[in-house]
């Protein structure tokens, strides 16, 4: 439980000022709602059973990866969706339909082929720019290369795109959401050849 809390605290701090989070949770309760978001996402990820939460030794950088799915589920996870709607409705209020539509559009962009999905990576603001994010992501990206699987993410902040480029990701699509009020950059990383 301690790791779960640390992951959500680090991510909430790292995503302070993030453009997508600013759109998702405007107003006075912004930072509290961002913290609630990452508390929920981290907990839900663990409950799904196919996620990997990582934190560095210094407890300054955290990530949430979703492991590859080798079967496409035909039926939606109604129980999970209901829980998510119950969670987010008090945070977004009357904007609920717009927010749900935007998140649905994001979900449609996920590749069908098995891949690792980087839900989030973040470093405490005072420790950013020191290679901590790349170091934390490295082992999973090495695994992707070793087994020949791609990796996918949505960057919620345009200033982070060069960071992902350096890790081998390429832009697959620019998503404009909610009539231009929000934007995400979808990125795909092909597995790199493993040197012997």
Strands 61-66 and 51-55: antiparallel
Element (H, E) at 88: helix 78-92
In the chain, % helix, strand, coil (3-state, to 5) comes to 50, 20, 30
- Judge contact between 186 and 154, C-beta under 8 A: yes
Residue 196 structure tokens? 């012997």
Convert the pLDDT of each residue in 13-70 to its tens digit. 999 989 999 999 999 999 999 999 999 999 998 888 889 999 999 999 999 999 998 7
Domain extents in the chain: 2-189
Give burial (CB, 10 Å; 0-12/13-18/19+) of 126: exposed
Residues 73-108 pLDDT 10s: 444 566 788 999 999 999 999 999 999 999 999 999
Residue 190's pLDDT band, with cuts at 50, 70 and 90, is very high
Average pLDDT estimate for 130-159: 97
User: Average model confidence (pLDDT) for the chain?
Assistant: 93
pLDDT, position 152: 98
Res 71 pLDDT > 60 = no
Beta strands in the chain (DSSP E): 51-55, 61-66, 115-123, 150-155, 170-177, 182-189
Name the percent of the chain lying above pLDDT 90.
85
pLDDT of 183 > 60? The answer is yes
Alpha-carbon distance of 34 to 101, in angstroms, equals 19
Q: Which pLDDT value is given to residue 1?
A: 67
Select from 99, 117, 5, 125 the least CA-distant residue to 51: 117
CATH class for the domain made up of 2-189: alpha beta
Please list the residues that pair with 171 across neighbouring strands.
187
Q: What pLDDT is attached to residue 194?
A: 80
């Amino acid at each position: 439980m301690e790791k779960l809390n640390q992951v959500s605290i680090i991510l909430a701090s790292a995503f302070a000022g993030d453009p997508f989070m600013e759109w998702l949770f405007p107003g006075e309760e912004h930072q509290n709602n961002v913290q609630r978001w990452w508390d929920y996402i981290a907990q839900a990820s663990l409950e799904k059973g196919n996620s990997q939460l990582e934190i560095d030794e210094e407890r300054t950088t955290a990530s949430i990866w979703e492991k590859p799915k080798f079967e496409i589920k035909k039926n939606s996870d109604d129980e999970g969706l209901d829980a998510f709607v119950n969670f987010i409705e008090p945070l977004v209020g009357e904007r609920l339909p717009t927010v749900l539509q935007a998140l649905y559009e994001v979900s449609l962009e996920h590749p069908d082929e098995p891949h690792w999905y980087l839900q989030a990576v973040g470093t405490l603001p005072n420790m950013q720019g020191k290679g901590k994010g790349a170091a934390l992501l490295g082992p999973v990206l090495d695994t992707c290369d070793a087994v020949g699987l791609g990796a996918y993410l949505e960057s919620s902040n345009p200033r982070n795109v060069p960071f992902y480029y350096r890790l081998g990701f390429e832009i697959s699509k620019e998503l404009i959401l909610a009539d231009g009020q929000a934007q995400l950059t979808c990125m795909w990383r092909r597995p790199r050849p493993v040197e012997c």
